[in-house]
Structure 1
């Protein structure tokens, strides 16, 4: 009988995670978005993590969850304010294995428990299908300037279902 793969676990962000999350961020951009963004756009996008102190400060200012496999970070997602998914990045080695879904499920549950009715995300072209399959609906296309490049994304929204037993 085959050995089962370890299951990912979730935990809150710790400042000591910053260097590893910066690496995951850059690797995800460089290795997973090539069908949708050119090299110059990828470089401009990944530059957001070059200043690790600023990157860590941004992650700490949001509700950031870390997905781990055998205690090592393999992905992260963050909620900006209470209604906006700001970031979702998984290491290319675990892409398509449910890590992103686990992170978004957790953010949706946390937001719903806080009384949030609608979550929004500015999804990269690479992430459009992921969010669409999870019930997010496209609302508008955007062009975002990053270090002299323009990156396209789509603002998407999802109506959260109230937790069972919650008052309407």
Structure 2
């Protein structure tokens, strides 16, 4: 496994990984309607182009395949952190989040935040993030719960 920055040519593979991970990994925490609405975000091309053009993105690659990615927005907000459904529990997320936190520290950020799914919450807690608020988001008329989490960087 190696890591590299994302390119525009990676966008389609990232969107596919995003959708497939949600559909597979998050199905025990969210119902089918919630997953359908959440996954529809993969089709928002403007949002994904903005991610590629404005965020720090770390890709994890195995055999020329993206197996995970994380993004840092505004130097201290983890916007996206997704690991391929077939590569869960292999410390990929741990390595990516460490790289995102290092980048935030490099930018002199005192803390890092993220809006975290029910599924990802235990992982973030193990990494030292604290729940600041439970959030009830309404997307296309469907309520999706996530958590505002924060970690102080030393």
TM-score normalised by length of structure 2: 0.95
Q: Which residue in the other structure is 2:127 paired with?
A: 134
- 1:85 is displaced (CA, Å) by 0.5
Task: Give unmatched runs, 5+ long, in structure 2.
Answer: none
1:55 to 35, 48, 54: 48
- 1:149 is displaced (CA, Å) by 1.1
Equivalent position SS for 1:126: coil
Moved more, 53-62 or 41-50: 53-62
Matches within 5 A, 1:3-42: 8-42=1-35
8 Å CA contact 1:44, 1:148 repeated in 2: no
8 Å CA contact 2:18, 2:82 repeated in 1: yes
Q: Which residue in the other structure is 1:119 paired with?
A: 112
Cα distance between partner residues in 1 of 2:40 and 2:55: 19
- 1:54 is displaced (CA, Å) by 4.1
Cα distance between partner residues in 2 of 1:139 and 1:53: 29
For these two proteins, the number of residue pairs brought into alignment is: 154
TM-score normalised by length of structure 1: 0.87
8 Å CA contact 1:19, 1:52 repeated in 2: no
- 1:147 is displaced (CA, Å) by 2.2
RMSD value over aligned CA atoms? 1.2
8 Å CA contact 1:63, 1:80 repeated in 2: yes
8 Å CA contact 2:7, 2:52 repeated in 1: no
- 1:35 is displaced (CA, Å) by 1.2
- 1:57 is displaced (CA, Å) by 3.2
Larger Rg: 1
Matches within 5 A, 1:86-165: 86-161=79-154
Q: Which residue in the other structure is 2:57 paired with?
A: 64
8 Å CA contact 1:18, 1:52 repeated in 2: no
